[in-house]
Amino acid sequence: MRKRKMEETQHLLGDTIRLSDNEWQSPSLLPGWTRAHVATHLARNADGLRRSVDAFLSGRSARMYASEMERQDEMERGSQRTGLDLQIDLDTSASQLNAVMNRLAASSEDDLAREVELRAGFHVPAWLIATARLNEVVLHHVDLGIGYSIDQVDDDIARWLLEWMVFRLDDRMDVPRLELQSTSGVRARIGGFGEPTVVSGADRFLLGWLTGRCDSSKLEGADQVVLPLVG
């Protein structure tokens, strides 16, 4: 998992290094966000995960962000930077996170099974943090709108990230009850209201649909389902 996270990060950095300052300030596929917003979000996500993991390894607790207001302020300030500054920030923050993740990987199985509170009320087993970061890198690579789409997500990564979304959406009350059936064998029930609807298809298209990165045209059973924005 850590190796694939690093590979996907390098893939993203290889694509973004070609962007001009004007292209960085152009709209991304996320409403209201430029590509520079997406890059800044990715870099601050890496910093936040690094803080939480570093605290966990030291026997302390530290959430990813001091506050939502500070997080938004950092996003706006960071989005005004040059392409070179954005690229350096993406690379540096990812490298620093990788260093602390290497330390985490050396932990015992018991420690990796312990939960880390990333945000208020959101706890994740330590061993899943690499998947959480992989999810950010892959989905926001798509959001940049620079040629990488949900159709291109590797099979194994698509399955891991679909399973991550199942973990996140398990019994979330604003998500309709769904019975997901993927062509790779993932079977899961998620959601908190209504009668269950069976939705089936390839991992990457289930992932894309659940996260708003593609429509339901390549799935069975999803055409009448309305999903909230789940990120």
pLDDT one-digit tens code per residue, 113-165 = 999 988 888 889 999 999 999 999 999 999 999 999 999 999 999 999 999 99
Answer whether 206's CB lies under 8 Å from 221's CB.
Answer: no
Number of CB atoms found within 10 A of residue 147's CB: 10
The answer to whether 89 touches 41, Cβ cutoff 8 Å, is no
* pTM score over 0.85: yes
pLDDT at 231 over 80: no
Structure tokens at 197: 């609807």
Question: What tokens appear for 230 in the block?
Answer: 């789940």
Tokens of 1: 């998992």
How many residues make up the chain in this entry? Answer: 231
